[in-house]
Amino acid sequence: MQVSRRGMLTGAAAVGAAAVGAAGVVGLEGRSQAATVPAAKREPVELTWFGTHAWQLKCGKSVVLTDPWLTRFKTGTFTPEGADPKTKLVIKPEVIDKHLSTADAILVHHGHYDHMADVPYVAKKTQATVLCTETHANLLRAMRTPNELLSPVRGGEYLPFDGFSIEVFPSLHSCSGKRHTYAYPGYRYDVPQRPRVIEDLVEGGTLAFVITIGGLRILSLSTANFDPNALRDLQVDVIFAAPGGEPGITDRLLQTIKPVRKVIATHWDDFDKPLDDPGIPWTDLTPLRQSVERTGAEFVVLDHLQQVTL
């Protein structure tokens, strides 16, 4: 389909369900508002979105990556049948190499394939420090990630790096349905057999991170859920916030932390679809947008491969 990126998103909105339509409109508004002038007294921080929760944060020579999963492959996640847990894990170096070159730190928020499957390749390529739980580290060791790059954390750490700092917080995966569950739960206390299929990459604990870079504090959440005890009265400028989860969850998040200026939508795209195409929302972004706008914060939606400088 040979239409412009913007047209594609509008088209999806026009022909899709009401849910998709609302998200498409938000996306367009968000983009026009996203190009803010960098604050005079801060170093500019460039954010690039690679779909799912894959973000690159760049300030001067410092580069931080969150859940860098760029390969993407079909699993059936957004079909009525759901994902096939036996879908083979693959890594596409040619896709990763096109977009990522250097990194100082890789923040693993949880162990699911759409967050961690590319980390072994990206870590080896960049030699970045990988912050993750012990379960994630065991899975990454099983996927031949060099052990010296792995830095297991639990939450509570304050870690200064050259040019930025990372604070780690315990967090929770979002859940849904009658039983409030999520896919592929579990922990790995030893190095398991090499993960081959998507269900082998268990959640393994969920972490949240605050990245302080260029004078900006960014709270990075990989799902809609969070630990209110860990984040109470936290002060940040920007949040990466995901749709989904239990009703009202983003309202609770924004009541738990101190007021923020900007909330950037994350993990809103159907990740069975390629990164080169515009993002197709997997859910209605309206509840997330309304929760944010009720607080007076700005709601921002970037498209695949788009950048914003803050």
Q: Which is nearer to Zn ion, 112 or 304 (CB)?
A: 112
State which residue, 112 or 188, has the beta carbon closest to Zn ion.
112
* CB 181 to Zn ion: min, Å: 12
Instruction: State the Cα–Cα distance between residues 24 and 33, nearest whole angstrom.
Output: 15
Using CB atoms, what's the residue nearest to Zn ion? 112
How big is the site for Zn ion, counted in residues (CB under 5 A)? 1
Nearer to Zn ion, 112 or 141 (CB): 112
Closest alpha carbon to 223 in 203, 202, 199 = 203
Which lies closer to Zn ion via its Cβ, residue 112 or residue 136? 112
CB 96 within 8 A of CB 118: yes
Q: What minimum distance in Å lies between the beta carbon of 274 and Zn ion? A: 20
Alpha helices (runs of H) in the chain, residue ranges in sequence order: 5-15, 18-34, 93-99, 113-116, 119-126, 134-142, 228-231, 249-256, 286-294
What minimum distance in Å lies between the beta carbon of 293 and Zn ion? 26
Rounded to a whole number of angstroms, the minimum distance from the CB of residue 66 to Zn ion is 13
What is the rounded CA–CA span in Å between residue 179 and residue 25?
33
Residue among 289, 265, 263, 293 nearest 279 (CA): 265
Kindly state the smallest distance separating residue 225's Cβ from Zn ion, in Å. Answer: 10
Using the structure block, give the residue that is written with the tokens 């984040």.
231
CA atoms of 37 and 92, how far apart (whole Å)? 35
> Nearest distance from residue 243's CB to Zn ion, in Å?
13
What token pair was written down for 228? 């209110």
Least Å distance between CB 48 and Zn ion?
21
* Spatial CA neighbour of 205 closest among 191, 185, 180: 185
Residues 6 or more apart whose CB falls under 8 angstroms from that of 17 comprise none
Complex with Zn ion: residue 120 or 214, whichever CB lies closer: 120
- Give dist(CA 245, CA 227) in Å, integer: 13
Toward Zn ion, which CB reaches closer, 112 or 289?
112
Interaction mask 144-163, Zn ion, x per CB under 5 A? --------------------
Q: Does 141 engage in binding with Zn ion (CB under 5 A)?
A: no
Q: Where are the beta strands (DSSP E) in the chain?
A: 46-49, 55-59, 62-66, 105-107, 129-132, 150-152, 158-161, 164-171, 206-213, 216-220, 238-241, 262-265, 298-300, 307-309
- Minimum distance, C-beta of residue 113 to Zn ion, in the bound complex (Å): 9
Q: Which is nearer to Zn ion, 112 or 262 (CB)?
A: 112
Min CB(184)–Zn ion separation in Å = 8
53-112 binders of Zn ion (CB under 5 A): 112
Nearer to Zn ion, 77 or 102 (CB): 77
Task: Give the residue with the Cβ less far from Zn ion, 59 or 175.
Answer: 175
- Give Cα separations from 298 to 41, 72, 101, 287 (angstroms): 21, 29, 31, 14
Cα–Cα separations (whole angstroms), residue 246 to 224, 255, 291: 8, 15, 13
Q: Interface residues with Zn ion (CB under 5 A)?
A: 112
